[in-house]
């Protein structure tokens, strides 16, 4: 579950703006041009979900898993968020 002070992002553009184009490129190993294409498409490849999700959580954000084509129950989303926080703290 997102922290009360976390900001819920709703679109791929908001995710890229929150993390920064360069950081998304670094997390995924993709070029600026490819990251820009995700902004235009409004979605990310599923394989980058965990890397980007944990970075969002670390920066106090949350976003719908559907932006990565993921379908996750609310209970699993809560567990995933807590796990991401623990991993970042370690």
- The domain of 71 spans 8-89
pLDDT value at residue 16: 98
How do residues 45-72 score in pLDDT, each as one tens digit?
999 998 998 899 889 998 999 999 988 7
34 within a domain of the structure (yes/no): yes
2 within a domain of the structure (yes/no): no
- 90 near 38, Cβ under 8 Å? no
31-61: burial string, b at 16+ Cβ within 10 Å, e else: eeeebeebbeeeebeeebbbebbbbbbeeeb
What SS3 state is found at 10?
A: coil
3 within a domain of the structure (yes/no): no
57 within a domain of the structure (yes/no): yes
Question: pTM score, two decimals?
Answer: 0.79
How many domains in the chain? 1
Of 14-23, 34-43, 75-84, minimum mean pLDDT range: 75-84
């Amino acid at each position: 579950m997102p922290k009360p002070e976390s900001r819920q992002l709703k679109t791929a553009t908001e995710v890229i703006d929150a993390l920064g184009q360069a950081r998304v490129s670094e997390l995924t190993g993709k070029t600026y041009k490819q990251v820009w294409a995700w902004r235009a498409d409004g979605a990310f490849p599923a394989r980058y979900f965990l890397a980007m999700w944990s970075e969002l959580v670390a920066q106090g954000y949350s976003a719908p898993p559907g932006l990565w084509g993921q379908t996750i129950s609310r209970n699993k989303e809560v567990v995933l968020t807590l796990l991401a926080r623990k991993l970042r703290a370690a």
